[in-house]
């Protein structure tokens, strides 16, 4: 096990800058997830750590050792890819043992290690099978087993679950988390799936267009995203973003006004006539049954366009008059609403985000 440190890593391919200014340090034994949309540079970072890619500039350390000029095979990292890449003519046991045999580890030790790895991944009954006699999930577990058996300093996983169907993906994700808790190997995991990122990570690195947008614990990033990109990327359904013009009376969103919380007025110098992007998560909106109590100023009239009953919760999408935005709202599972209903929705303004409409940076809540 070892810490991994990147210092201002940059990678250019001819005139394309794939990643820039990438700096972070993963403490020994932690599980970090690199997440972001397609093309954001996450695989390039992983491949740079693995030694499959050479940084144009910057420094990479594994442990305290500078790795820039160390070839991949001497880095003591193990990488698992999306497509498993098992050897088809070898059995499961031979596949798991392969890396150890290449390192000329003692045969008895190899047998022991294969046994231990197979037990921890529930593969004992499959050791004599060939990859094509296995399901996708089993094949992926063998690929993980082959990487684990080597007991690398660092474990690098590139979208390892994306070829699995939904159920298997959930199961394997949980197994992976458990496995990491048992082994404590420093892990870097790449995915574009925010659910995987949120559920697996000690820390998430959110990337966009080759640059780091935010690094933090999943819940901290969810609670306080740095900018619009992060705010809308983490969370499903995503945070609602409403473009609004500030007036002295409130935020004008189409034909309605949202009150500006007093504390925002006190702390921020909002400029009348200026545009802002307001963010509110679907779980912070509810049906307003209380209009008599004078809470209308944070309520919005909407028309229900889509209803998705999911049992535990009901998701709706609702249109705002004078706006093209469809508001995502997460309601309780027992709430009954129909397409076409007109509702008054209450926004929990203590959970309101305000973003600069030009830069996308969060200006409220303040850090």
Q: Which of 44, 120, 172, 314 binds ligand ATP (CB under 6 A)?
A: 44
Residue number, 16 or 310, with CB nearest to ligand ATP:
16
Selected range binding ligand ATP among 36-44, 94-102, 313-321, 322-330, rule: CB under 6 A: 36-44
Residue 40 interacts with ligand ATP (CB under 6 A): yes or no: yes
Selected range binding ligand ATP among 38-46, 138-146, 171-179, 326-334, rule: CB under 6 A: 38-46
Run of H or E residues at 332: strand 326-332
Residue number, 54 or 116, with CB nearest to ligand ATP:
54
Run of H or E residues at 197: helix 194-200
Residue 16 interacts with ligand ATP (CB under 6 A): yes or no: yes
- Binding-site string for ligand ATP from residue 192 to residue 231, where x marks contact by CB under 6 A and - marks none: x---------------------------------------
CA-based nearest residue to 342, from 297, 291, 302: 302
CA gap 232, 20 in Å, rounded: 22
Residue number, 51 or 282, with CB nearest to ligand ATP:
51
Residue number, 14 or 167, with CB nearest to ligand ATP:
14
Selected range binding ligand ATP among 12-20, 212-220, 248-256, 342-350, rule: CB under 6 A: 12-20
- The three-class DSSP label of residue 286 is strand
Q: Which of 6, 9, 41, 278 binds ligand ATP (CB under 6 A)?
A: 41
Residue number, 159 or 277, with CB nearest to ligand ATP:
159
Burial of 237 (0-12, 13-18, 19+ CB in 10 A): middle
Q: Which of 6, 35, 42, 142 binds ligand ATP (CB under 6 A)?
A: 42
**Taking CB under 6 A as the criterion, which residues in 167-196 touch ligand ATP?**
192
The CB-side HSE value for 134 (13 A sphere, CA atoms) comes to 28
DSSP 269: -
Run of H or E residues at 171: helix 166-183
Residue 160 interacts with ligand ATP (CB under 6 A): yes or no: no
Question: Minimum CB separation from ligand ATP for residue 232, in Å?
Answer: 17
Question: Minimum CB separation from ligand ATP for residue 14, in Å?
Answer: 7
Residue number, 10 or 130, with CB nearest to ligand ATP:
10
CA gap 173, 164 in Å, rounded: 10
* In contact, 318 and 330? CB cutoff 8 Å: no
Selected range binding ligand ATP among 31-39, 142-150, 232-240, 329-337, rule: CB under 6 A: 31-39
Q: Which of 1, 10, 39, 183 binds ligand ATP (CB under 6 A)?
A: 39
- The three-class DSSP label of residue 46 is helix
CA gap 259, 243 in Å, rounded: 14
Residue number, 3 or 211, with CB nearest to ligand ATP:
211
Q: At what angle do helices 107-120 and 92-102 cross, to 10 degrees?
A: 130
CA gap 235, 224 in Å, rounded: 12
CA gap 125, 3 in Å, rounded: 35
Q: Which of 13, 184, 217, 361 binds ligand ATP (CB under 6 A)?
A: 13
Residue 38 interacts with ligand ATP (CB under 6 A): yes or no: yes
Question: Minimum CB separation from ligand ATP for residue 40, in Å?
Answer: 4
Question: Minimum CB separation from ligand ATP for residue 77, in Å?
Answer: 17
Cβ partners under 8 Å of residue 351, min gap 6: 280, 281, 284
Sheet holding 342-347, edge to edge: 285-287, 342-347, 299-309, 313-319, 326-332
> Cβ atoms within 10 A of the Cβ of 261, count?
15
Residue positions counted in the chain: 367
Q: With CB under 6 A, what is the number of residues at the site for ligand ATP?
A: 12
| Residues in touch with ligand ATP (CB under 6 A) | 13, 16, 18, 36, 38-44, 192
């Amino acid at each position: 096990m070892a810490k991994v440190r990147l210092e201002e890593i940059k990678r250019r391919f001819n005139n394309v800058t794939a990643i820039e200014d990438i700096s972070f340090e993963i403490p020994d034994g932690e599980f970090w997830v690199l997440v972001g949309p397609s093309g954001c540079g996450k695989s390039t970072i992983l491949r740079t750590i693995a030694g499959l890619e050479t940084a144009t500039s910057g420094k990479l350390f594994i442990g305290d050792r500078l790795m820039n000029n160390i070839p991949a095979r001497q880095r003591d990292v193990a990488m698992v890819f999306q497509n498993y890449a098992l050897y088809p003519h070898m059995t499961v046991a031979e596949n798991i043992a392969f890396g150890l045999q290449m390192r000329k580890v003692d045969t008895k030790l190899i047998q022991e290690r294969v046994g231990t790895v197979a037990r921890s991944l529930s593969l004992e009954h499959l050791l004599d099978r060939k990859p094509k006699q296995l399901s996708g999930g089993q094949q992926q577990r063998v690929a993980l087993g082959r990487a684990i058996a080597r007991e690398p300093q660092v474990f690098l996983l590139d979208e390892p679950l994306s070829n699995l169907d939904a159920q298997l993906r959930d199961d394997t994700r949980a197994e992976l988390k458990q496995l990491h808790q048992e082994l404590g190997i420093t892990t870097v995991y790449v995915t574009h799936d925010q659910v995987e990122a949120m559920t697996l990570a000690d820390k998430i690195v959110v990337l966009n267009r080759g640059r780091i947008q935010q690094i933090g614990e999943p819940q901290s990033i969810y609670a306080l995203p740095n900018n619009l990109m992060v705010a809308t990327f983490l969370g499903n359904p995503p945070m609602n973003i409403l473009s609004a013009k500030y007036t002295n009376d409130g935020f004008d969103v189409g034909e309605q006004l949202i009150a500006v919380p007093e504390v925002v007025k006190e702390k921020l110098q909002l400029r009348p006539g200026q545009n802002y992007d307001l963010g509110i998560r679907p779980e912070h909106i509810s049906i307003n049954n209380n209009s008599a109590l004078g809470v209308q100023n944070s309520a919005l009239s909407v028309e229900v366009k889509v209803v998705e009953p999911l049992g535990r919760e009901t998701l709706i999408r609702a249109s705002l008059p004078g706006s093209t935005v469809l508001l995502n709202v997460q309601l309780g599972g027992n709430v009954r609403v129909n397409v076409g209903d007109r509702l008054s929705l209450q926004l929990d303004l203590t959970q309101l985000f305000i973003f600069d409409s030009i830069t996308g940076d969060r200006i409220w809540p303040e850090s």
